[in-house]
Amino acid sequence: MPVNSFDDYPMSWKPKKELLTAPKYRALADLLADDILTGKLSPHTKLPPQRELADYLDLNLSTVTRAFQHCTQKGLIYGITGRGTFVPPNAAIDISIADEKEEASYIEMGIIKPLDAFNTETFTVMEQVLRRSGISPLDYSYPMGTPYQRAAAQKWLAHFSIDVSQSNIAITAGAQNALAILLLTLFRPGDKIATDHYTYANFIELANLMQIRLVPISGDKEGILPDVLENHCRLQQLNGIYLVPNYHNPTGHIMSQSRKEALAAIIRKYQLLAIEDDIYGFLLEKPTLPLAHFAPDHTCYICSLSKSICSGLRIAYLTFPTRFAADIR
């Protein structure tokens, strides 16, 4: 029986006990997922402590813990040590690309879909590459990419004024994979990363899953304002900064070269680790130098082929300072 009386006790979530069929951890996880996905639990809601919920439902603490772990793995909740468990801001948003329903009468603005008109040409080139002797794109022995593949990456990156050795390049399964690698490798739970006030939704989800705090910084039509960023650096310990400098998702702003230089100076001064997500840089009519050019020892640069060549080509190039090579490898 519950230790406490919950008749008039305020709780942010009170699942119905009669719906807890066996196995109870799975039923509890399903109830939590349903209430999040249907909007009954709004974004940023702080869930009751696990012990409190176990007492309310007359369950073992381990049952509640297992249910929470199940939902955490699905990205439906996240925990912050010492603060509690929360519903992430985008947990209930459907971000599926394919939709088997009838074609909608509106323009979908939630997904940035690549142009697939040239996929047939891509297939032809891929066939030619696969027939070349001495090339083994499926070789499992090179998790960072074969020397040939990294040489190709080096040539591609040169178009964006990125000049790094092959040993400072990793080939990943898309830009999101590159972001996950960086957050897992170079940051720790509780670290703080500065971002634009509005930023890439999937980066928010990754940070929540890894218990990394995002600090929104005010900006203008070019993105983050340098003076506001520096004020935050003075007031609190920031560990990194995440930037989408060209055709920012979701605002669409483009950062000038002078803005990049100003931000790079702050990054160097306060020893921040910068993640420059430049998957739309290929769209610039007049390319500018990347942030990585002005703060090469503090910037990890990402560009992807899925938007510029073929949406199904889940390949991204990640460059990094030499001091991070061993960890990333």
- Which one-letter DSSP state was computed for residue 198? S
Nearest Cα neighbor of 295 from 280, 312, 315, 276 is 276
What residues form DSSP beta bridges with 220? Answer: 223
SS3 labels along 195-259:
EECCCCHHHHHHHHHCCCEEEEECEECCEECHHHHHHHHHHCCCCEEEECCCCCCCCCCCCCHHH
pLDDT at res. 88:
84
Per-residue pLDDT tens, the chain, 329 aa: give them.
445 555 566 889 999 989 999 999 999 999 999 999 888 898 889 999 999 999 999 999 999 999 999 998 888 898 888 889 999 877 766 555 555 555 556 666 666 777 777 778 888 888 888 887 666 666 777 888 888 889 999 999 999 999 999 999 999 999 999 999 999 999 999 999 999 999 998 999 999 989 999 999 999 999 999 999 999 999 999 999 999 999 999 899 999 999 999 999 999 999 999 999 999 999 998 889 999 999 999 999 999 998 888 888 889 999 999 999 999 98
Phi, psi of 264 (to 5 degrees): -60, -35
Q: How many residues does the chain have?
A: 329
Distance CA 240, CA 253 (A): 21
CATH number of 119-123+143-328: 3.40.640.10
Amino acid 158 reads A
17-86 folds as Arc Repressor Mutant, subunit A (1.10.10)
Q: Are 234 and 119 in contact (CB under 8 A)?
A: no
Dig out the tokens for 50 from the structure. 């696990």
Q: Residue 97 has what pLDDT?
A: 53
> Kind and range of the H or E element at 5?
none
DSSP 8-state assignment for residue 8: S
Preceding peptide of 250 cis, ω within 30°: yes
Closest Cα to residue 274, out of 249, 247, 296, 246? 296
269: Cα separation from own chain's centroid: 26
pLDDT of residue 107: 67
Task: Locate 69 and state its tokens.
Answer: 């772990």
What's the pLDDT at 13? 93
User: Alpha-carbon distance 29 to 200, whole Å?
Assistant: 27
SS3 of 307, please? coil
- As a whole number of angstroms, the distance between CA 326 and CA 329 comes to 5
Phi-psi label, residue 122: left if phi above 0, alpha if psi -120 to 50, beta otherwise: alpha
Could you give the CA distance from residue 188 to residue 101 in angstroms, rounded to a whole number? 41
Query: What residue ranges do the domains of the chain occupy?
Result: 17-86, 119-123+143-328
pTM: 0.69
The structure tokens 């938007």 sit at 307
